Amino acid sequence: MSKLKSATAVQAGHSLGRRIAKHWEYYLLLLIPIVITAVFKYAPIYGVQIAFRDFNPVDGFFGSEWVGLKWFERFFSNYNSTRMITNTVLLSLYSILWTFPIPIVLSLFINQLKNKKFQRVTQTVIYAPHFISVMVLCGMLRIFLSPTGGLISTLAQFLGAPANLNFIDSSSAFRTIYISSSIWQDAGWGTIIYLATLSSVDVSLHEAAKVDGANTWQRILHIDIPVLVPIIVIQLIMSFGSLMNVGFEKAFLLQTPLNKETSEIISTYVYEQGLLKAMYSFSTAVNLFNTAVNIVLLAVVNWVCKRLSDVSFI
């Protein structure tokens, strides 16, 4: 069987043209994503060159003067460049650390629910916060955390905390606020993919385990988790892929002059410099640096995962 398969593959491999002619419908369909990617993802890359130019609108992308690494030097000699990089990395690392495992645990639990109706209701209830927009969420957070009459501050005072706790303005609370609200909002949504995987587990495996006397815990440990591992690894690689691109909107909306110590991340700085101060070349350079770091990280994580579990993208 396998011999036959490889034989046909080799035969067809003789000419790409013939293969395309034979299965042209599939290649036609493939064309759509290729064109979209090329146009929207690759074509705009020519704009990256302004990171090395002194961009001005009249001379445009191709006419502005070359300035070499001026903008990069400027970024690294900035008083808060180290702080920004640290903040970005720490915020995303902590985010992954806290938000990544929770959907897995949650889906293992939900999967064990016996009452299917209750299971569905639970799922819907925990999905719901995902549909609140970031803008609204941050507005809610600011109201809840307001030092005068905010829900959380009032509760804290009730439990004996000193009056006038101002969480939103304290840099030490920023990451906690950011991450815990992310968990509240997205943990439920994150369970979808794991629940789908778990539902594909062969029921006979569980039945056989039960007959052999395995309890619920043992069945989770030896049946459910091994099924989830490949998908967990893929999810992990993907979340590292966006490590340096932590949610800009949320950090920006929760930023106040007093919590900048921890809340100023590269993307908020790029927005400030690029869109508000119109320093397009400088902000392109900063973002290019950000992307470069991201690619390196992605490659490292991919390599580690490949070594550990044979699952990888690249």
Partner 1 sequence: MKGIWKRLAALTLVLALVAGLAACTGGDNSSSGSSSQGGSSSSEGSAADSSTASTPDDGEKQTSFKIFAGVSELSPDNSEKPIVQQMNEAKGVTIEWNCVSGDTLTEKKNLMLNAGSDSMPDAFMAAQLKDAEIMTCGTKGLFIPLEDYINEETMPNLMSVLEVRPDALAACTMPDGHIYTLPNFGEMGFEYKDGNTYEIGSIPQFTCINTKWLKAVNKEMPKTIDELHDVLVEFKNQDVNGNGDPNDEIPLSFIFPWDNGAWCANMTTLWAPFGCTDYNEDHRAIKDGKVYYQAASEEYKNALAYFHGWFEEGLIDIEVFSQDSSQYIAKGNGEDARLGTFVWWEIPEVVGYDRAEDYAYLPVLDGPDGTHHVNLNQTSTVSRDQFAVTSACKDPKTLLNWVDQMYDPMISMQCNYGPIGVFFDETPDEKGVYNTIELKEGETEGELKSKSELLGPTRQLTEDYGKYFYMEARAQQRLDDLRDFWFNYVDSTESYPNVVYTEEEIDVINDRLSDLKSFTEERASHWLRDGGIEAEWDQYLKDLDSMGLQDVVGAWQSAYDRYAEALK
Encoding tokens for residue 23? 């299965």
CB of 59 to partner 1, least distance (A): 7
∠ CA 224-230-235, nearest 5°, is: 110
- Nearest CB to partner 1, comparing residues 224 and 264: 264
Per the listing, tokens 């569980």 go with: 206
CB of 114 to partner 1, least distance (A): 45
CB of 306 to partner 1, least distance (A): 35
Encoding tokens for residue 136? 């609204």
Whether the Cβ atoms of residue 189 and residue 127 lie closer than 8 Å to each other:
yes
- Nearest CB to partner 1, comparing residues 17 and 162: 162
- Nearest CB to partner 1, comparing residues 167 and 240: 167
The site for partner 1 (CB under 8 A) is made up of: 25, 28-29, 31-32, 35-36, 39, 43, 55-61, 77-80, 147-148, 163-164, 166, 168-169, 256-258, 260-261, 275-278, 280
* Alpha helices per DSSP H over the chain: 2-13, 16-22, 24-37, 60-63, 70-76, 81-99, 101-112, 116-127, 134-144, 151-158, 171-199, 203-211, 216-219, 225-241, 248-253, 260-263, 266-271, 280-309
Whether the Cβ atoms of residue 263 and residue 174 lie closer than 8 Å to each other:
yes
- Nearest CB to partner 1, comparing residues 111 and 166: 166
CB of 247 to partner 1, least distance (A): 19
Contacts of 297 (CB under 8 A, 6+ apart): 240, 243, 244
CB of 12 to partner 1, least distance (A): 20
- Nearest CB to partner 1, comparing residues 18 and 277: 277
- Nearest CB to partner 1, comparing residues 74 and 130: 74
CB of 184 to partner 1, least distance (A): 22
- DSSP secondary structure, 117-178, as one string: HHHHHHHHHHHGGGGS-HHHHHHHHHHHT-TTT-HHHHHHHHTTPPS---STT-HHHHHHHH
- Nearest CB to partner 1, comparing residues 16 and 39: 39
CB of 55 to partner 1, least distance (A): 8
DSSP letter (8 states) at residue 43: G
Whether the Cβ atoms of residue 20 and residue 13 lie closer than 8 Å to each other:
no
- Nearest CB to partner 1, comparing residues 87 and 107: 87
Residue 240 and residue 220: Cα distance in Å, rounded? 26
CB of 99 to partner 1, least distance (A): 27
Q: Is residue 185 helix, strand or coil?
A: helix
